[in-house]
Structure 1
């Protein structure tokens, strides 16, 4: 456990240092072009990281009881003591991560947290650690609980998830090009640029963590195109410099929609349907936006 804390500290220092180096480089490049670098975006990401570190000190996580229940009712006890078992854990964790990430885009209750990660209007390494403060409270651990139920110790599942997220750090860049054959198997900066883009053609794509194979298998892979430059941020961009607004604006809008929904079923619909869904049929889901775009092209 002590070694794990040391590794976590080292990873945090590395991530912060690398993102700051990139920020200073991009700021210098922006000045040369007569532009202003959006330092407030880095500030919002740093505030998010500090807030999550503080949240970790509070016993508010739903992961603990969910994992405890799954472990108490496990069907086996799996020892991770070989390369094969490590590989199987990696594939299993990646599969669970894919569905967690997909649900975070397609179920508004989870999107209210995940939207914070997609709020930057510029894709930089600092984006990688803007993850949202309320993730511990939304029960996303349920997506990884099947691994615990199968018999993988909770700490092993969480360690695998941490490594998955650490891998994704370098994906949040605009200056790394496509990587040839690597694109067919692994998640890359190019694939992840598409994931963060708000272009209609790029919405709800490339959910993988380390691998891209599940996106290819389940039909959610979209390739970055030269004729369609990525436009980063949300469909309706956020421009706030206030970290509190940045963290909770989507929860506030969700609450308002539920309050004016008219009845309980509609209110539940706002919780479980995709972002942009509306009980009156006038919403802006990904499917609706694509139909509108198709009509405008005709």
Structure 2
């Protein structure tokens, strides 16, 4: 909403008030997620370097539910990048934002503020400062955690051998990694968030990584995959993840498409093998399609990922990622 408001305000000053409001909302939300000091009722866990859900009890105490899931990765999406010139054209917003930050310094310590110039004279507002960004990415880019051969899992594979257990009221509750169909009837058996690869979330993560790259450029490198010793730029990471996702639909060395798994008819029958189905989500370990087979609404996002993979280069990202540009290229 903040990014939309900035874009509109560049054309109509009336929207500056909305930009101010959404900037303040972002700061308050970020402050609630991670306050100064060690607090047990906030989402950020400094020891683990990850965001978790927090459960509040009737007696007032709180505890983090240490399930490494998309909850922690969603923080990557809270990012907006703008050329400095955009803020220069919005004096009311700039003045209000500076005043707000002066009045609430406790909210400014744990986020990346739009007062530090990045590549191409750009500014960025992000819930993740560089310290947090590196820690969250270390999980997302770990093949034993979120990074699959076919994209980003919705739940860390760490929980396959280490399911999270929570005891309350004499009963144990457990969350484990399930790469495909749910093993529980809870929520109608839906397992999107228990391990499979979910296309729209992967698209949003790719979009966020491109925005982060447009700010940090080639100077920011991260180990990819985690533990490999290989350093990569965020653009290289984005390209690799995109290739992993698109490989779901492509024939591998054996001539099989991962999305059809062990369904031999769809793999080999000449009348079926080239008819691509858009499954609801995909197995986090082998890429096989799971759930509804005609979920074109969100799995159709693969078209945007292919388009971005074909269009963007480091140069085009650096030359085009400004307000409205990602939407212009439908990414």
TM-score range, shorter chain: under 0.3
Structure that is richer in strand per residue: 2
Higher relative contact order (CA 8 A, sep 6+): 1
> What TM-score comes out, normalization by structure 1 length?
0.28
> What TM-score comes out, normalization by structure 2 length?
0.26
